[in-house]
Amino acid sequence: MLSNSAALDEKDISFSISDLAREFGVTTRAIRFYEDEGLLSPGRSGRQRVYTSRDHVRLKLIVRGKRLGFSLSEVREIIEMYDLDSGESGQLRYFLEQIKKRREALKQQRHDIELTLDELDSIESECKHRLSALS
Amino acid sequence: MLSNSAALDEKDISFSISDLAREFGVTTRAIRFYEDEGLLSPGRSGRQRVYTSRDHVRLKLIVRGKRLGFSLSEVREIIEMYDLDSGESGQLRYFLEQIKKRREALKQQRHDIELTLDELDSIESECKHRLSALS
DNA sequence: GACTTAATTGACGTTTACGTAAACGGAAAC
DNA sequence: GTTTCCGTTTACGTAAACGTCAATTAAGTC
């Protein structure tokens, strides 16, 4: 079964702390900090941290969340949505609520971005207009 | 001249600090802080601050920028783009550079938002699927 | 096996963006 | 005329998110 062995392979990928730091453009200090905050949970080989592909995914979510201006605790909430370990219906309904709120916030952000992009456009053309008037 | 008098009217609108606080959902403390940081520059009537429509616009930019996760100094940079007081060509070229960078960053953010929204969609449907399996 | 290099741990420092408390000033309501 | 409400000023406090530094250790390299 090819796909199965490929899946196994993927699970077996591991990363050092500097691998991750390089790939995502964050410092090792930050990565350890995220661990302190419970966002990452690497294994150990001796004293050295060994990160799995699960950590890799989580770190990707962290940096993306940061780019969107989310705090680490907001990022934590988002990450927790990805681990749907609970099958209880109350929990599931709660999650659906959270998802709804996140989506609304993200759409607000997207709207803010559109507004800002439009304004940048008009500032830019004003700028270019003045430039051409100078020559 | 109707349009002219309308323009004059607009310029004459003024706001108290609590007007602005209510409208934008920020504290008066925050508004004074923005003034300390040079982002707002209200007039005075005795000791009391009087905000013009210019301050109103700026505060709108500030809260929008905050929603997008920008720091106050980033917001300052954006605001400065709006006051094109300099007509020098070097300055104008510099502004065009800044505008380009901002636009790239905003587009990256928008992309991050699309990714996250898509993922929320699939988490949601997984969630709903499990819910229906419970009943 | 000395040297260098990468990683860890712990502790303290720093910046940003306000919050909070105290003490005071005017003005409006009763 | 005093209570009440805004607003102001000054100053100290604080939470978040790391940075920085020092001491230690482990792992390769020559």
The reply to whether residue A113 touches residue B106, judged by beta carbons under 8 angstroms, is yes
User: Which nucleotide in the DNA or RNA is closest to residue B33, CA to C1'?
Assistant: C18
- Whether residue B79 is contained in a domain is answered as no
Range of the domain at A109: 84-135
Q: Are residues B54 and B26 in the same domain?
A: yes
Q: Which residue of chain A has the CA closest to B135?
A: A89
User: Same structural domain for residues A116 and A51?
Assistant: no
What band does B11 get if pLDDT is binned at 50, 70 and 90?
Answer: low
- The C1' atom of C28 and the CA atom of A39 lie apart, in whole Å, by 55
Q: Integer distance in angstroms from CA B124 to C1' D29? A: 53
- Of A4-8, B39-43, B50-54, B122-126, the poorest mean pLDDT is in A4-8
Q: CB within 8 A of B57, min separation 6: which ones? A: B82
Last residue of a domain, one of B24, B43, B70: B70
Chain A residues whose CB is inside 8 A of the B84 CB are 123, 126-127, 130
Q: Tens of pLDDT along B13-65?
A: 899 999 999 999 999 999 999 999 999 999 988 889 999 999 999 999 999 99
Of A18, A47, A71, the one marking the end of a domain is A71
pLDDT tens for each residue of A61-111? 999 999 999 999 999 988 988 887 767 888 888 889 889 999 999 999 999
Instruction: Pick the closest to residue A128 from B105, B77, B89 (CA basis).
Output: B89
**Structurally, how many domains does chain A consist of?**
2
Domain at A17, CATH number:
1.10.1660.10
Same domain for A92 and A61: no
Residue range A50-71: mean pLDDT, rounded? 93
CA atoms within 13 A on the CB side of B85: 3
For A32, A41, A86, A121, the CA distances from A38, given in Å and listed in that order, are 10, 7, 19, 42
